[in-house]
Amino acid sequence: EAILFSESLSRFLIEVRPADMPQLDQILADVPHNCIGVIGGSALRITNATGATVIDVPVHELETAWRGHLPINSESAAVNLTADYKQWTPAHRSPLTDYAPPSLQKQPRVLILHANGTNRDHDAVLAVQMAGGTPEVVHINQLLAGERRLLDYGMLVVPGGFSYGDDLRAGVLWSVDRQYRLNEQMQAFAENGRPILGICNGFQVLVKANLLPGNLASRSVTLTYNASGHFECRWVTLQPNTASPSIFTQGLTNPILCPVAHGEGRLAVQDETTLAELQANNLIPLQYAASDNQSEEYTAVPYPANPNGSIADIAALCNAAGNVMGLMPHPENHIFPWQHPRHHRGERGMSGLPLFVNGVKNA
């Protein structure tokens, strides 16, 4: 075991189907190798060369250890993640299929807004290309200098990242730049019905600049520090609201799987009246959901399925017209099947892409 698990170069773990073992043995005929175990659904068992079991650990214990044991607060310290393991395990599986870009009569120009510190521009470019649009990354200074005109584009994406280093909290400085130097262009763009999608830091920008939710009183909604008190990076399940006016979620009924990566993603409202108005007008197009929830009635989702403690499990907001939407998760990071960590287990892939397809289609 010491030789097998020693920390040294040129050691690999290879997973193959039992039927492929003879071929693998031939390929590795001149390389020292050994079968250390068989993968099952309930436990990880590793044996040595004599067949004796070296490790036998239930998968849910490994999952719990991987997720960590940091409680959100004193009330959640007793949460039994082991007992609720299946609740956090995505179960949306379907055969993998080849992707064909949507057939659109036009390929609208899509502006990917860049500011110092944003780091998801290229991911957004790929998503827009996959959706059938023509993306262009434009620095905010180019708009301010008049080198580019926002109204020359059919759609706007404000991507995630750490704009201006997140000084003065996430998205604040970027929203100040947008609000006081680009306000007229942005308002005209939104009022013209053109799609605007803000992701993570971009969502924070749209909220702090009062572009979302749009029809409520200023500062009635905000995005603040995660309830856990630390940065959250994990995969989540999002449930679309079929009654929402958001053009980005139109026709979507299946859960959307994508990652989150933020420290300030908890959506908070000024009062219960604000929340009631958001719900009554269906301005919540996406909510965090437990992956195995089959109930049609809403039930509160605990951590970590709701990774930041957002009220009413809100993952996204839209305006009343439906053309402006912001969300904390990163759908641009699940536009290829292989991006999901359970891709080789038959996990349904690319579920973040339809949001971009809908946006481009309406550009």
pLDDT in tens, 246-304: 999 999 999 999 999 999 999 999 999 999 999 999 999 999 998 765 555 667 899 99
Buried b / exposed e over 113-150, threshold 16 CB at 10 Å, is bbbeebebbebbbbbbbbbbbbbebbbbeebeeeebeb
What is the identity of the amino acid at 187? Q
- Token readout for 324 is 């402006």
Do 184 and 45 lie in a common domain? no
Sheet holding 53-58, edge to edge: 37-39, 43-47, 53-58
On whether residue 98 sits in a domain, the answer given is: no
**Which of the four pLDDT bands, split at 50, 70 and 90, describes residue 208?**
confident
Residue 131 Cα distances to 30, 135, 244, 315, 359, angstroms: 46, 10, 21, 22, 8
**Which of the four pLDDT bands, split at 50, 70 and 90, describes residue 80?**
very low
Output DSSP code: residue 13. -
Given 232, 264, 332, 347, the catalytic residue: 332
Do 8 and 139 lie in a common domain? no
> In a 3-state reduction of DSSP, which class is residue 61?
helix
Domain of residue 125, residue span:
109-361
pLDDT beyond 60 at 3: no
> In a 3-state reduction of DSSP, which class is residue 345?
helix
Given 60, 92, 114, 200, the catalytic residue: 200
Output DSSP code: residue 152. G
Given 60, 92, 330, 334, the catalytic residue: 330
Do 188 and 315 lie in a common domain? yes
Residue 51: per-residue pLDDT: 77
**Distance between CA 317 and CA 250 in Å, rounded?**
14
On whether residue 173 sits in a domain, the answer given is: yes
Peptide bond preceding 101 in cis form (omega within 30 of 0) = no
* Final residue of a structural domain among 68, 99, 117: 68
Do 181 and 130 lie in a common domain? yes
Q: Which helix (H) or strand (E) holds 201?
A: helix 201-208
On whether residue 78 sits in a domain, the answer given is: no
**Selection from 4-13, 64-73, 333-342 with the highest mean pLDDT:** 333-342
Do 116 and 63 lie in a common domain? no
* Final residue of a structural domain among 13, 47, 68: 68
Residue 326 near residue 249 (C-beta atoms within 8 A): no
Do 128 and 37 lie in a common domain? no
Do 272 and 144 lie in a common domain? yes
Do 206 and 329 lie in a common domain? yes
In this structure, of 42-46, 47-51, 217-221, the range with the lowest mean pLDDT score is 217-221
On whether residue 176 sits in a domain, the answer given is: yes
Rounded average pLDDT over 118-130: 91
Is 264 one of the annotated active-site residues of the chain? no
Rounded average pLDDT over 104-114: 88
Residue 83: per-residue pLDDT: 41
pLDDT beyond 50 at 72: no
**What is the pLDDT of the chain when averaged over all its residues?**
81
Read off the CATH number of the domain in which 212 is found: 3.40.50.880
Rounded average pLDDT over 166-184: 54
On whether residue 212 sits in a domain, the answer given is: yes
Is 230 one of the annotated active-site residues of the chain? no
pLDDT beyond 60 at 90: no
* Final residue of a structural domain among 68, 97, 121: 68
pLDDT beyond 70 at 33: yes
- Which one is predicted more confidently, 123 or 80? 123
On whether residue 352 sits in a domain, the answer given is: yes
pTM over 0.85: no
Residue 111 near residue 136 (C-beta atoms within 8 A): yes
- Which one is predicted more confidently, 113 or 93? 113
On whether residue 145 sits in a domain, the answer given is: yes
Is 330 one of the annotated active-site residues of the chain? yes
**Which of the four pLDDT bands, split at 50, 70 and 90, describes residue 2?**
low
On whether residue 306 sits in a domain, the answer given is: yes
Do 194 and 321 lie in a common domain? yes
pLDDT beyond 70 at 8: no
- Which one is predicted more confidently, 124 or 94? 124
Do 209 and 331 lie in a common domain? yes
Q: How many distinct structural domains can be found in the chain? A: 2
Do 142 and 237 lie in a common domain? yes
Angle, vertex CA 317, rays to CA 198 and CA 189, nearest 5: 50
Rounded average pLDDT over 191-197: 96
Residue 203: per-residue pLDDT: 92
Do 2 and 113 lie in a common domain? no
